[in-house]
Chains A and B, each alone.
Chain A
């Protein structure tokens, strides 16, 4: 089992250093693995260089896959977090 959702980035600056840092810190709160995919490239949401290296810009659609013990809770909260911060 795993949880999956898509999200479109609306922050004009995309996933730049500050929101990327917040995102990684948030992802690290959960046991589940969180994988972010954009254009076929997947990275671990708990790794700052991976997230920043994705180069996500405003308007990009990303897919988020959450898998692990707390996946339901993690997916719901993480989606909420993305909406509020990106």
Chain B
């Protein structure tokens, strides 16, 4: 097995035989012609044929992918009709008595060099377009069918090529092509964009990993991770067959469930949200049709910085997520470091038992200057969408009151500075300590919502360190003790007219979906890829 890392530009998994496409510019022969006039005529005829092919390609692309994608081939036609281009070719034939193929190739090189020398990366990439259209004319002259058209025969296969021109990509026979891998290319190329439109897994930039001798060998390609496995071993093959089935199931569910309500057969509705760790995860949230974000862990802002992140830096991150989610709720959890998440510049003292130590809200309440920076950023971002603030590791009513006091101080400062924020921003707490469950009635009177962090709630309820791999059966989140804790929190929330959700891993556990529905959870927030399977389970309840 050979493993190659490329750049995934179009998601999906393909498993099949490799077919190497001969798209490398093969050397064009230089010949002396006896009759330059006839050779010019030969060129003109080939050029006209190529323009007609582009017209057909244009119409086909417009029908399959839309006008926007087709316009590129209008520009390609103009290139073949450009008087400077045509004159250069015809002059070469007449003056040097060379064959048309050679004249076209030389002119293409010259025009491509002009683009390559421009100080604009977009224009530099147009060198490939010049070569693409010129190759088409040469193929006609040589009576060769274009590389993209040669795929009509044989079994399904994965295309492996040095590079693929956009025109070659759209001509790939989608019934036969499983995906493609190229040595060159860029993620912004037309080819990558077309691959995504066609729903074909695609990987570019494998560089030296390209080997024409792989023709006919079996390969596994993963367009999400950019991995290519040539001659995969049994374990890899099995693993990726599983992933492929999972991905296809995902697509099927998406097709079937996108936009559908998360509702049981008897009409009980559950809000189905997603958990994220950074702004870029919003793409996956939207792709999986989550109804909101139930947990945005703000730790990444601290873990990935060398020093305390500034208000502006945090504001931009929260704003980006809020804007992308529009009206949909985005619950942002305030600073939750300490325990297993350590950050150097906080200078936290070593603790023998950090899970029971100085972490999360405890840091915020003793170092309000750090907490205030985050709260200011959150409030300022709140006007760009539907943000809610969630406080972690709460064990007492006093902690909530202290945190709200600090929040009120920040609000007063903002009002004084005439800075807008959402006056009605929801404030909720994580339910992840036994103390918070026992005090749930009193806590519910203080906040707008509860969200249960099942990992920590399991750890603290069962006295099982979540980092200890040897506790196995003792650390069972299905334990009746944990489930009863969840029920107590939900019942207290409902007695006080607030909503209660789960934002821990347990929310996605399909074995417990029935139990959660019976308990009456209002919201479940899970990883983006778990959203659709969970919606499916709830709709079948």
Contacts and interface: CB of A to CB of B under 8 A. Distances in A.
A18 B85 contact: no
B123 A16 contact: yes
A55 B123 contact: yes
B187 interface: no
Contacts of B115: 52-53
Contacts of A53: 114-115, 118
B129 A17 contact: yes
Interface stretch (A2-10, A20-28, A31-39): A20-28
Interface stretch (B69-77, B224-232, B378-386): B69-77
B518 interface: no
Contacts of A55: 118-120, 123
B218 to A, nearest CB: 38
Counting chain B CB atoms within 10 Å of each CB, the highest count among A14, A16, A50, A52 belongs to: A52
Contacts of B119: 55
Contacts of A46: 83
Nearest to B77: A21
Nearest to A18: B71
Interface string A41-55: 000101111101101
B261 to A, nearest CB: 40
B122 A16 contact: yes
B244 interface: no
Contact of B82 (A14, A18, A22, A47): A47
A60 to B, nearest CB: 12
Given A14-B120, A21-B74, A48-B82, 9 more contacts: A18-B75, A20-B75, A21-B71, A47-B84, A49-B79, A49-B82, A49-B111, A52-B123, A53-B114
Interface of A: 13-14, 16-18, 20-22, 24-25, 44, 46-50, 52-53, 55, 57
7 contacts: A16-B122, A16-B123, A48-B75, A48-B82, A49-B84, A55-B123, A57-B120
Interface of B: 71-72, 74-75, 78-79, 82-85, 111, 114-115, 118-120, 122-123, 126, 129
